[in-house]
């Protein structure tokens, strides 16, 4: 007996891992690492709150439980967004 081939992912965004140093996010066919040092909002958040992520208009990430919003471009081109949480 052979297993069927996996289909296309139905999720535009998902948290693939939460490690001791940050969050791994898979969005629009690409994986991103969000280290807690640069994204401190996730450090003490619950697993459920981190996993509750939404993608709006294909470019805007939203974590409603944490009141966190990020543009996809800020993950792939952080040099364009020099303002950071200190």
Predicted model pTM: 0.79
Q: Rounded CA gap, 74 and 76, in Å?
A: 6
Q: If one looks up domain 13-80 in CATH, what number appears?
A: 3.30.2020
Domain ranges in the chain?
13-80
Assign 73 to helix, strand or coil: helix
pLDDT in tens, 1-30: 565 555 444 568 999 999 999 999 999 999
Percentage of the chain exceeding pLDDT 90:
69
Q: Rounded CA gap, 35 and 54, in Å?
A: 19
Q: Rounded CA gap, 69 and 59, in Å?
A: 11
24 bridge partner residues: 17, 33
List for the chain the helix, strand, coil content (%; round to 5): 20, 35, 45
């Amino acid at each position: 007996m052979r297993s069927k081939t996996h289909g296309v992912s139905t999720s535009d965004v998902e948290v693939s891992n939460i490690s001791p140093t940050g969050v791994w996010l898979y969005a629009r066919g690409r994986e991103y690492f969000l280290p807690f040092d640069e994204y401190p909002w996730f450090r003490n958040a619950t697993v459920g709150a981190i996993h509750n992520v939404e993608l709006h208009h294909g470019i805007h990430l939203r974590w409603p439980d944490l009141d966190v919003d990020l543009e996809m471009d800020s993950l792939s081109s952080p040099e364009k967004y020099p303002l950071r949480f200190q």
